[in-house]
Amino acid sequence: MMGYRKAELFTWVVSFLCLSCLSSGFNPVDNYLIDCGSSTNTSVDSRVFIADNLASNLLSTPQDVLAKSNLTSITLFSDSPLYQTARVFTGSSKYTFSIHQSGRHWIRLYFYPFVYKSYNMSVANFAVSTQDHVLLSNFRVTSAAVVKEFSLNVTSNDLVITFTPSANSIAFLNAIEVVSVPDALISDDAHTISPAGDFQGLLSMALETVWRVNMGGPTVTPNNDTLWRTWIPDQRFLVQPNAATNASNIAAVKYVKGGATQDTAPPTVYGTATEMNSANNPNSNFNVSWEFDVDVGFEYLVRFHFCDIVSASLNELYFNVYIDPWIVVRELDLSTYVNELAAAYYMDYVTVTAVSNKLRISIGPYTIKGTYPNAILNGLEIMKLNNSKGSLSAADAVINSSSKKNVGVMVGTIIGAFIALVLAGILFMLFRKRRRLARQRLSKTWIPISTNGGNSQSMVSKYSNGTTLSAISNIGYRIPFAAVQEATNNFDESWVIGIGGFGKVYKGVLSDGTKVAVKRGNPRSQQGLAEFQTEIEMLSQFRHRHLVSLIGYCDEKNEMILIYEYMENGTLKSHLYGSGLPSMSWKERLEICIGSARGLHYLHTGYAKAVIHRDVKSANILLDENLMAKVADFGLSKTGPEIDQTHVSTAVKGSFGYLDPEYFRRQQLTEKSDVYSFGVVLFEVLCARPVIDPSLPREMVNLAEWAMKWQKRGQLDQIIDSSLVGKIRPDSLRKFGETAEKCLADFGVDRPSMGDVLWNLEYALQLQEAVIDGDPEENSTNLIGELSPQVNNFGDSNTSISATQFEVSAVDDLSGVSMSKVFSQLVKSEGR
Ligand SMILES: *[C@@H]1O[C@H](CO)[C@@H](O)[C@H](O)[C@H]1NC(C)=O
Ligand SMILES: *[C@@H]1O[C@H](CO)[C@@H](O)[C@H](O)[C@H]1NC(C)=O
Ligand SMILES: *[C@@H]1O[C@H](CO)[C@@H](O)[C@H](O)[C@H]1NC(C)=O
Ligand SMILES: *[C@@H]1O[C@H](CO)[C@@H](O)[C@H](O)[C@H]1NC(C)=O
Ligand SMILES: *[C@@H]1O[C@H](CO)[C@@H](O)[C@H](O)[C@H]1NC(C)=O
Ligand SMILES: *[C@@H]1O[C@H](CO)[C@@H](O)[C@H](O)[C@H]1NC(C)=O
Ligand SMILES: *[C@@H]1O[C@H](CO)[C@@H](O)[C@H](O)[C@H]1NC(C)=O
Ligand SMILES: *[C@@H]1O[C@H](CO)[C@@H](O)[C@H](O)[C@H]1NC(C)=O
């Protein structure tokens, strides 16, 4: 009894001592290392791979074939003794590992084929899978040694790995590892690159490490990595080796709060980098690119490792980072994330589904005056994500380039209104479901700006009231005053494109050729400062194709300058009246309304707390070169009602003629105030007149009152823009009028949500489109008519058809592809 106790105590002390001596390293709870086919333990990189017979209790296999190479010198094979022996599987075989701590685990499989008796491993062809995922299928290793690394979150008590030879073939394995991964290594979130946004769900994904690269340095071997990973040099991947050069300062590497840890990557990775070989030319402007082989049909998690070992001081290095043609981080200034030089930092991005078998990663300078062009990358990991079949095998790639077209083709071949009708109904339901899902996803998180990579730094908690400008400036959007002066030809008066309460708006061109709109605030106004801060805060957190994007700002010398993307076609207002621009068609107007409704809907739902714009009007809806609408001017925006209750005395703000009467009366702000203002915009778009026109007879002065009068009488057509007369399909006008009317309901609770408004406008567009395709009285119209009851109440229909059966992936709020396009295709095909 005593002896037992003593032994226990002894074990405890020993493990305690071991823990403290290893305190900097990770101690995996599950740690299975097996040297297959070997009769002895094998020590590799200070880890012991146990002899095969010690693992026999884990394996069930039809036949024990332990293969030993007859070449004695292991150096002939590779530098690892693990390759000297192998286990051959002549039939389906299973390893069952008990998992003591659920979470992500690495599975590393070592293969090196050789010939043993009648078994020629070079021709082995087999599959490897776990309970939930296919890791390899149709797999062969013909010559050199191969290590395949996978990681997956194991939540069951056992991990079962099955080796299945193809018909008339065998499977083999030289060594296997199943090892716990630190929980923090791979989080659930990353960023998407196109459209830029948030990615969630990594925890449930199986990953395969496809490439793990140490930029600008040699191979880093497992014993120089706390997690026994191998990092290979980047030379062979460089597209133009001459464009790049090595940098190294391993001793300088620091791991700081908010940045990466030793486990993310070792100092030998962070301490070397590949940088631009600018050969002391201050005008250098080129990219350093790498190309990696990948399998088509999969998404990849790309982890960038950065550590500024090249700068002499902070805020000296600005560069852009690209994946394929997409810019994923513009003007990356590492010092804004980790406020120290040589501090390790990483960022995670998920690619779009690969359509090419090359993945290109590039870095290039962000050229602003006064900074020396350079760009660096210290390390890179590319991990394949399992596809919708749960597989990581290229043989199972889901190549799905034209799901939308397939729907069209399919419908086209099926003649008969009934089937089209059913399909259309399903599409509507899926659309609703997707929108709901998208909304749910969005309401859980918000989409950070694209410059905030990875999960190192916190953009979180930025929403507190005490946000200061310096906190915001961490985002790295700050542009030097000199650059703004240069862009606007020193605030050339002839470059002024607008004047507002806040100040003047200039057209400008940045040194990289980007056209911008530069809003320069009046430095004296205190109110202006608050709005300036709000606007930066809002715009840097929200990124959406229907919200105007902020390119940068400048607060040097008490300036309050905001720099936005340039919107070629100016305001919606200018296209409606008063500026002599050609009048827009009804379809164009509807599309603009839909676009701006999307932008507002995103503001209201895209973040845990609704953001209320508070100044929705036609002058704040801007149009790009394709007349695509973007909502602008966030100076008055506020987060939802909760925050406002602490500010009961908030002065009523907004623009006369658009102001929600309920807000005016009760001073209580909700998203429904934006809905009201948007309703006024809808009438403005339809009637093409100012919302307040004092020159008109009294009852006509206020557009909202005037239009509501005619709408209630059912005679809205009497007051529409004369250039639209006879061009709007009555159904479309009716839907549009009803939508605007609901927006203008006296009480907020009676008004629809922006999402409903969006839906109704899409529908109004659809009603308009249907007639353009001819046969106004024919079945196409009837189809719409019969669908409408469904349209109005599909709420939570429990259709058993799953979204994947009908990959209508383009029909997604965020993708910006209009539902109407898909739907009109159905209507058209049906008419054939
Ligand atoms: C091999 O390693 C295992 C586990 O570490 C140990 O129990 C066993 O005694 C070792 N065998 C030999 C032959 O060293
Ligand atoms: C070694 O393997 C080869 C087949 O590759 C075989 O021909 C030879 O007899 C083997 N030698 C010994 C010593 O087993
Ligand atoms: C594993 O997955 C479960 C359920 O999806 C999740 O709760 C858990 O956080 C995950 N753990 C890790 C370490 O990924
Ligand atoms: C094993 O297979 C490889 C690939 O087919 C072939 O080149 C090699 O000659 C084979 N070796 C033996 C001993 O059959
Ligand atoms: C950079 O380092 C790698 C690995 O250490 C080496 O192979 C390569 O030649 C170096 N390149 C240059 C330009 O010095
Ligand atoms: C790798 O680790 C070994 C010993 O563990 C050490 O001697 C060597 O310097 C390390 N290599 C690098 C590049 O740090
Ligand atoms: C760098 O690469 C990106 C993406 O391919 C490209 O858009 C950009 O023009 C390149 N920059 C230069 C200077 O070549
Ligand atoms: C990957 O597999 C998981 C199940 O573990 C699944 O939930 C997920 O949707 C799959 N990934 C994709 C992209 O379908």
381: which strand partners? 212, 303
Count CB-CB contacts under 10 A for residue 583.
14
- Model confidence band, residue 557 (pLDDT cutoffs 50, 70, 90): confident
Atom of ligand 4 nearest to the CA of 122: 2
- Among 119-128, 274-283, 429-438, name the one with the lowest average pLDDT: 429-438
Q: What is the pLDDT at residue 218?
A: 96
> pLDDT tens across 654-678, in order?
777 888 888 777 777 788 999 999 9
> What's the sign of the alpha-carbon dihedral 727, 730, 731, 733?
positive
The catalytic position among 198, 225, 615, 633 is 615
> pLDDT tens across 201-232, in order?
999 999 999 999 999 999 999 999 999 999 99
- Model confidence band, residue 612 (pLDDT cutoffs 50, 70, 90): confident
Instruction: Answer yes or no: are the C-beta atoms of 193 and 352 closer than 8 Å.
Output: yes
- Model confidence band, residue 592 (pLDDT cutoffs 50, 70, 90): very high
Q: What is the pLDDT at residue 501?
A: 62
> pLDDT tens across 646-656, in order?
333 345 667 77
Residues 6+ apart with CB under 8 A from 525: 502
Structure tokens at 605: 């739902």
CA atoms within 13 A on the CB side of 191: 27
Centre of ligand 4 to C-alpha 109, Å, is 22
Which of 438, 439, 190 lies closest to 328, judged by CA?
190
Atom of ligand 6 nearest to the CA of 46: 5
Find the mean pLDDT for residues 340-344.
94
pLDDT at 142 over 90: no
Percent of the chain surpassing pLDDT 90? 49
Q: Where are the beta strands (DSSP E) in 409-549?
A: 496-499, 503-509, 515-521
pLDDT at 319 over 70: yes
| Between residues 416 and 562, the one the model is more confident about | 562
pLDDT at 428 over 60: no
Q: What is the pLDDT at residue 818?
A: 34
3-class DSSP state of 808:
coil
Q: What residue owns the CA closest to ligand 4's atom 6?
A: 122
Which of 477, 344, 436 lies closest to 759, judged by CA?
436
Structure tokens at 815: 């993708």
Instruction: Answer yes or no: are the C-beta atoms of 285 and 291 closer than 8 Å.
Output: no
Instruction: Answer yes or no: are the C-beta atoms of 75 and 123 closer than 8 Å.
Output: no
- Among 491-505, 576-590, 797-811, name the one with the lowest average pLDDT: 797-811
* Average of per-residue pLDDT values in the chain: 78
pLDDT at 417 over 70: no
Q: What is the pLDDT at residue 335?
A: 85
| Between residues 523 and 553, the one the model is more confident about | 553
Which of 352, 355, 360 lies closest to 380, judged by CA?
360
| Between residues 727 and 562, the one the model is more confident about | 727
> pLDDT tens across 91-115, in order?
999 999 999 999 999 999 999 999 9
Distance in Å from the first CA to the final CA of the chain: 89
Find the mean pLDDT for residues 410-428.
43
Find the mean pLDDT for residues 116-136.
95
In order, the DSSP letters of 278-326 are: -TT-TT----EEEEEE--TT--EEEEEEE---S-SSTT---EEEEETTE
Dist. CA 429–CA 436, nearest whole Å: 10
Dist. CA 600–CA 755, nearest whole Å: 9
Atom of ligand 5 nearest to the CA of 233: 4
Dist. CA 272–CA 332, nearest whole Å: 18
Find the mean pLDDT for residues 430-456.
36
> What's the sign of the alpha-carbon dihedral 398, 402, 403, 406?
negative
CA atoms within 13 A on the CB side of 358: 11
Find the mean pLDDT for residues 373-382.
97
Dist. CA 599–CA 504, nearest whole Å: 25
Ligand nearest to the CA of 387: 8
Residues 6+ apart with CB under 8 A from 680: 617, 657, 658, 691, 703, 704, 743, 744
| Residue type, position 523, single letter | P
Q: What residue owns the CA closest to ligand 3's atom 7?
A: 203
- Among 88-102, 593-607, 682-696, name the one with the lowest average pLDDT: 593-607
pLDDT at 710 over 60: yes
Centre of ligand 1 to C-alpha 48, Å, is 8
Which of 213, 446, 453, 447 lies closest to 332, judged by CA?
453
pLDDT at 407 over 50: no
Whether 615 is catalytic = yes
- Model confidence band, residue 695 (pLDDT cutoffs 50, 70, 90): confident
106: which strand partners? 151, 179
120: which strand partners? 115
Residue 183 CB–ligand 3 contact under 6 Å? yes
3-class DSSP state of 824:
helix
Find the mean pLDDT for residues 427-444.
42
Region of 321 (left: φ > 0; alpha: ψ -120 to 50; beta: rest) is beta
Centre of ligand 8 to C-alpha 304, Å, is 23
Q: What is the pLDDT at residue 220?
A: 95
Which of 183, 228, 184 lies closest to 454, judged by CA?
184
- Model confidence band, residue 615 (pLDDT cutoffs 50, 70, 90): confident
- Model confidence band, residue 745 (pLDDT cutoffs 50, 70, 90): very high
Q: How many residues does the chain have?
A: 832
Ligand nearest to the CA of 70: 2
Q: What is the pLDDT at residue 78?
A: 57
Pure H helices in 583-636: 586-605
pLDDT at 548 over 90: no
8-state DSSP, 702 = B
Dist. CA 128–CA 148, nearest whole Å: 11
pLDDT at 7 over 60: no
Ligand 4 binding pocket (C-beta < 6 A) is 115, 120, 122-123
Which of 701, 704, 700, 660 lies closest to 684, judged by CA?
704
> pLDDT tens across 60-73, in order?
999 999 999 876 54
Which of 179, 252, 250 lies closest to 220, judged by CA?
250
3-class DSSP state of 382:
strand
519 is in an annotated binding site: yes
| Between residues 639 and 204, the one the model is more confident about | 204
Which of 820, 725, 711, 710 lies closest to 767, judged by CA?
820
pLDDT at 5 over 80: no
Locus of tokens 């004092």: 694
Which secondary-structure segment (H or E) carries 233?
A: strand 232-233
Residues 6+ apart with CB under 8 A from 180: 28, 29, 30, 31, 101, 103, 104, 105, 106
| Between residues 704 and 455, the one the model is more confident about | 704
Residues 6+ apart with CB under 8 A from 264: 185, 305, 344, 346
- Among 33-42, 47-56, 240-249, 800-809, name the one with the lowest average pLDDT: 800-809
Backbone angles phi, psi at 101, to 5 degrees: -135, 115
pLDDT at 195 over 70: yes
| Residue type, position 324, single letter | D
CA atoms within 13 A on the CB side of 65: 19
Which secondary-structure segment (H or E) carries 381?
A: strand 379-385
Region of 87 (left: φ > 0; alpha: ψ -120 to 50; beta: rest) is beta
- Model confidence band, residue 368 (pLDDT cutoffs 50, 70, 90): low
pLDDT at 813 over 80: no
Query: How would you label 392-427 residue by residue, b for 16+ Cβ within 10 Å and e otherwise?
Result: bbbebbeeeeeebeebeeebeeeeeeeebbebbbbb
Structure tokens at 75: 């150096």
> pLDDT tens across 779-802, in order?
333 333 333 333 333 333 333 322
Residue 41 CB–ligand 1 contact under 6 Å? yes
Residues 6+ apart with CB under 8 A from 14: none
Residue 485 CB–ligand 6 contact under 6 Å? no
Structure tokens at 488: 């606007």
Locus of tokens 């001459």: 242
Residue 217 CB–ligand 5 contact under 6 Å? yes
Instruction: Answer yes or no: are the C-beta atoms of 191 and 86 closer than 8 Å.
Output: no
Ligand nearest to the CA of 238: 5
3-class DSSP state of 174:
coil
CA distances from residue 20 to 23, 125, 226 in whole angstroms, order as listed = 5, 46, 15
Count CB-CB contacts under 10 A for residue 512.
12
Domains and CATH numbers, the chain: 2-180 (2.60.120.430), 189-399 (2.60.120.430), 403-565 (3.30.200.20), 573-769 (1.10.510.10), 771-832 (no CATH)
- Among 46-50, 710-714, 794-798, name the one with the lowest average pLDDT: 794-798
Q: What residue owns the CA closest to ligand 6's atom 14?
A: 268
pLDDT at 810 over 50: no
Pure H helices in 636-699: 641-645, 661-666, 671-687
Q: What is the pLDDT at residue 514?
A: 83
| Best mutation site among 104, 152, 155, 263 for ligand 3 pocket (most ligand atoms within 8 Å of CB) | 155
pLDDT at 465 over 80: no
Q: What residue owns the CA closest to ligand 7's atom 14?
A: 286
Q: What is the pLDDT at residue 202?
A: 96
300: which strand partners? 384
- Model confidence band, residue 400 (pLDDT cutoffs 50, 70, 90): low
CA distances from residue 716 to 114, 577, 696, 727, 750 in whole angstroms, order as listed = 83, 19, 18, 14, 21
| Residue type, position 786, single letter | E
32: which strand partners? 178
Pure H helices in 494-585: 526-541, 572-576
Q: What is the pLDDT at residue 231?
A: 97
Q: What is the pLDDT at residue 817?
A: 30
Label each residue of 49-114 as H, E or C: EEEHHHHHHHEECCCCEEEECCCCCHHHCCCCHHHHEEEEECCCEEEEEECCCCEEEEEEEEECCC
Q: What is the pLDDT at residue 280?
A: 80
- Model confidence band, residue 767 (pLDDT cutoffs 50, 70, 90): confident
